[in-house]
Structure 1
Amino acid sequence: MQALECSKEHPVSGDEIEMMKNHKIPNHQNAKCLLACLFKKVNWIDDKGMFNDKNAYKLSEKEYPGDQTRLDNAKKLFETCMSVNEASVGDDKGCERAALLTSCLTEHAPKMGFLIQ
């Protein structure tokens, strides 16, 4: 449902959707803003596009209740990706930073035992 809402606000082509499914981020601004919209819907980034690792971790607690190893790895992953908040970006809507966050998560999640689908 959230993806549908975001895709109405930030339409992307079928090719761009395929790229994202294959963990590649299209260079088109709407694709980056679609990612930002999705992250905002789950409160992982704020209105200025800043990543909130605490909110991301809260979602992980719901996703992996009682699995301390997974939760520890999620915390490490989110701490690693907090570096995106220090990056200089060209927009104030979070689109560029959402693309950086997606890249960071995609790069580091497998190293911490998370399957990227």
Structure 2
Amino acid sequence: MFKVSVFLCCLCLCALTPYIALAMTPEQRAMIHSHFETIGKTCIKDNVISEQDINDLRAKKVPSGPNAPCFLSCMMKQIGVMDDSGILQKETALEMAKSVFQDPEEIKIIEDYLHSCAHVNTASVSDGEKGCDRAMLAFKCMVENASQFGFDI
């Protein structure tokens, strides 16, 4: 049951890829859902998160478990929005959004949203290339900033 539930928390990580919050076809939503489910199952093997963390992610809250930051880092790296050095790659996220949306206004909103959290790349973190601390900072920022850009994540 626990691993089956992982895909639900992965959907909450759509905050990392804000284009999911915009109008999507059922097929696009299913494709992204499947992708996140696969990544989540991979990441949870080395970064087991608790049921509480899963519930927090479902509720669009920042998880507090000890493995949650590294789970988020694993997800971000697997998705491609964080590089192997633990640095967020907003350009990669923007390119992913452009592959789903063609409307220039939507792309601009996504770009501004991603830029609003770019400061996490210059934040001091204690784990360097591991990226866990930075992943948590990014997730917090994206959750906090989502509503000002019209995202219901």
- Is this a same-fold pair by TM over 0.5? yes
Structure 2, gaps ≥5 residues long: 1-37
Question: Which whole-Å CA distance do the structure 2 matches of 1:74 and 1:62 have between them?
Answer: 13
Residue 35 of structure 1 corresponds to 72
Question: Which whole-Å CA distance do the structure 2 matches of 1:69 and 1:115 have between them?
Answer: 17
Residue 115 of structure 2 corresponds to 79
Residue 137 of structure 2 corresponds to 100
Classify the secondary structure of the residue corresponding to 1:50: coil
Which has the larger helix fraction? Answer: 2
2:96 to 45, 55, 59: 59
Deviations 1:25-45 (A, max 9, x none): 233331111101111011101
Comparing 51-60 and 20-29, the one that deviates more = 20-29
Question: Which whole-Å CA distance do the structure 1 matches of 2:100 and 2:73 have between them?
Answer: 21
Identity %, equivalent residues: 31
Residue 83 of structure 2 corresponds to 46
Classify the secondary structure of the residue corresponding to 1:109: helix
Task: Point out 4+ residue stretches in structure 1 off by more than 6 angstroms.
Answer: none
Residue-pair matches, total: 115
Question: Which whole-Å CA distance do the structure 1 matches of 2:83 and 2:66 have between them?
Answer: 18
Counterpart contact for 2:53–2:64, Cα < 8 Å: no
Report how far residue 23 of structure 1 moved.
2.2
Deviations 1:59-103 (A, max 9, x none): 111222x22111000100111111001111111200010011111
TM-score (norm 2): 0.71
Question: Which whole-Å CA distance do the structure 1 matches of 2:137 and 2:109 have between them?
Answer: 20
2:94 aligned with 1:21, yes or no? no
Letter in 2 for 1:50: I
CA RMSD of aligned residues (A): 1.2
